[in-house]
Amino acid sequence: MYRDGHAGFNALLYAPFLPVVSGRWSLELALVGAVVALAAANLPDIDQPLPRIRHRGPTHTVWFAALVGLIAGVGTAIAVPATPAAFAFGFLVGSCGILAHLAGDVVTPMGISPFAPLWRAHVTLEWFKSKHERINRGFLLAGTAALSMSLLVAVW
């Protein structure tokens, strides 16, 4: 997937949780979660302009997801310190945001090796090419609509 597709996919996946988190903890925590989910959407692709890291290499692994989860957990605990579950929530959203990106790349012919370097198995479903414009745009539109509707439900 391309940038728009990943952002839409993450928004679509996070949307059902926004009203739940808002009702259980706070709207503030739910919005921080949305920011983390969207920020994580394209984070693995930071490898593209880097000369010594191959694209869909180390940043496209479960290890990177765990690292981002730790950073997001600490950041969420700092941003919403009054919520006891803030670290766990941030960790979950951050790592799942990266895992959603990986899922979006698994469906393309290029695929990924999610457990490298421990296990170099290459995973691809070859459903559609990353540059498939309609799929990327469709995920962006669906994710935007779903996240917008869930925000309305949360504040209503």
**What pLDDT digit, counting tens, does each position of 5-15 carry?**
999 999 999 99
For every residue of 7-72, DSSP letters joined together read: HHHHHHHHTTHHHHHHHHT-HHHHHHHHHHHHHHHSGGGGGTT-TTS-TTSGGGSHHHHHHHHHHH
pLDDT tens digits, 34-79 = 999 999 999 999 999 888 888 899 999 999 999 999 999 999 999 9
Task: Quick: pLDDT tens for 45-54.
Answer: 999 988 888 8
The predicted model scores a pTM of: 0.94
